[in-house]
Structure 1
Amino acid sequence: MKTIIFKTASVYLLPLLLLFSIFILLRGHYLPGGGFVGGLMASIAFVIHSFANGIEKTKNIMSIHPGFLMPVGLLLALASGALPLFFGESFMTGLWMENAVPVIGSVGTALFFDTGVYLVVIGVTLTIIFTISEGL
C-alpha cells in the first residue's frame, strides 16, 4: 500500500507521533502513560513510515539501529533503580530533585526509569517488525 496519499501523510505523521510519544513519556510519572505507552507510540510512527516508504528509508531516518536501544534502555532503567542505594535507600526508591524543571516539572528517578522502558520498547518493537518485514 504505497499510495501518494499514504506516503505524504506518513511524512507529516512521523514527527507528530514522535512528539506525542514524548508527551506521553513525560506525562507518565504523574498520570497514566509512561515509557511503555510512549515507546509503542514511537514505534507505531516508524512502522507507519516504513509501510509507506519502505524499510530502508525508515532505517536511514533512524541514526542508530533499533537493537542498540535495548541495552541502553535497560542500563538506564537499572541505573535509575540502583541510584537510591548510594543514598542509603532501598532499590527502586523514588528520588526527586528539590527544584522543578520549567517545562517537565519534578524530575526524579521515575522519569529516568520510564525513559529506559521507552527505549527498550522502541528497540524491541522495531527490531521485531523490521526482522519480520525483511523476511517477506
Structure 2
Amino acid sequence: MTDIEIRPARPADLPGLLAFWAHAAEGTSITDDPDGISRLLERDPEALILAERDGSLAGTVIAGWDGWRCHLYRLAVHPDHRRQGVATALLDAAEARFRALGGRRGDAMVLDHNALGRSAWQSAGYTPDSGWSRWTKPL
C-alpha cells in the first residue's frame, strides 16, 4: 500500500508509542516503559519499526536481531487500520531487515489466547512450533 510509511522508531516517538500499545496491543510486557524502549533503540536503532498513515501511528513491530536469530515482537495494528495491509507491510519490512542481516528464520512471540494475533501471524505464513515452549524469569 502506497499510503503506508514504514520507518524505524525514534526517541521522540516513545510517549506516543506507549499510549499506542496500551490501546492497540494485546497484553503488556515488563519492558513496556520508556527505559525499556530507550535501551532497545540505543542497542539497535532499526529494530522497532513503525507504520504510519496520514502522519498517525497505524502499527508497530519489533524485529530484533541478536546476530544469530530473528525475533519478532509487538506486532500491533490500530483497530481503525486492521485488515488494510499494515501488518503485512510491517512484516515485509521486518523480514527484509532480517534477510539483509543474514537471518534465516523469524520467530514470533504470540499470546496463546490472542486469536486475532494468531490469525494475523498464520496469514503471514508463520506456524506454531510445538517442539518449543517459552520459559521466562523476571530479572
Query: What TM-score do the two structures reach when normalised by structure 1?
Result: 0.30
**Which of structures 1 and 2 has the larger relative contact order (alpha carbons within 8 angstroms, sep 6+)?**
1
Higher helix share: 1
